[in-house]
Amino acid sequence: MNGLIRVVPRLDIKGSNIVKGIQFDGYRVVGLAEEVAELYYNEGADELIYQDTVASLYRRSIDLDVVKKTAKRAFIPLTVAGGLRTLEDIKSVLRSGADKVAINTAAVDQPQLIREASRVFGSQCIVASLEVFRRYDGRCEIWTDYGRQRTGIEAISWAKKMVELGAGEIMLSSINQEGTGRGYDWELTRDISTNVPVPVIACGGAGSVDDFFVVASQGGASAISASSIFHYHYAKSLDKEHLKSRYCLRSGQQIDTGNVDFMMEGYGGIREFQVMPASIKKVKSALLEAGMRVRV
């Protein structure tokens, strides 16, 4: 881990809306992508991740209009993932305002796409997205189609291969931890980060500000991505009238208290799946107080 730790909100998209689920399932609508992106940009996010949750599954192209709207309202690096299968797909997304692309399913189907894309666009633009499921025996396996399809591929060897082919960054998502609020899989993050010479973005599991410190200090993450902890902080803000006057956190209409209740109660009412919402500024302050270097 070198340099500044980046704090990167993740926007999981279905259609024009940001959605949130648990372990890549049970989605609830949170808000319009471009509006929440602008909010997080103004609140101090270092970068944003835009993940289309169904593009790879349905083998369709990503919605470039939403990418363009997001890029026009958030003037920070934007990584776009989901449904990217060809060099032309990548070119279209970069021309629409993205700074980087993250590739998972297509990389498994055709690994040479990573080599070709890094050669054409530069390795700094190409992020290898690893969706990893930790099995009961401890083995960590790559899954595709946004956490729906098993591959049998071992995670560490795959991360090494992606870097060898030219990926300039790894986006590491723990399927087991995602949306649960139980913390990041820092051991998996450590195992990946110590085996590749490129930055690793840790995704999946943030339940409190302490989790950011753990995955940075013990896992070696160069960047930390989160969604629930931020989404539900801003949806539950005490200054709701102020938020309503600037941002609409549910389909352009109103703050969705039902979705906040969903997150606080857990998927299917399982109360152990909870988060302690926090602002981006609070997360950065906590990292600074713990001796981490962040952009303020």
3-state secondary structure of 259: helix
Which residues lie closer than 8 Å to 93 by C-beta, 6 or more apart? 62, 64, 67, 80, 84, 101
Q: Among this protein's residues, is 12 annotated catalytic?
A: yes
Look at the alpha carbons of 268, 265, 280, 1 in this order and tell me if their dihedral is positive or negative: negative
28-32 vs 17-20, strand pairing mode: antiparallel
Amino acid letter, 285: S
DSSP string, 160-190: HHHHHTT-SEEEEEETTTTTT-S---HHHHH
Chain CA centroid to CA 83, Å: 15
C-alpha angle with apex 70: 64 to 74, nearest 5 degrees? 145
Q: Which of 12, 145, 169, 185 is catalytic?
A: 12
CB neighbour burial string for 141-153, b if at least 16 within 10 angstroms, e if fewer: bbbbbbbeeebeb
Residue from 155, 282, 283 nearest 215 by CA: 283
Tokens 């991505």 belong to residue: 225
Q: Which of 63, 131, 145, 256 is catalytic?
A: 131
Report the C-alpha gap between 185 and 252 in whole angstroms.
34
User: 177 with 205: CB under 8 angstroms?
Assistant: yes
User: 172 with 203: CB under 8 angstroms?
Assistant: yes
User: 27 with 13: CB under 8 angstroms?
Assistant: no
Look at the alpha carbons of 249, 222, 133, 177 in this order and tell me if their dihedral is positive or negative: negative
Catalytic annotation, residues: 12, 131
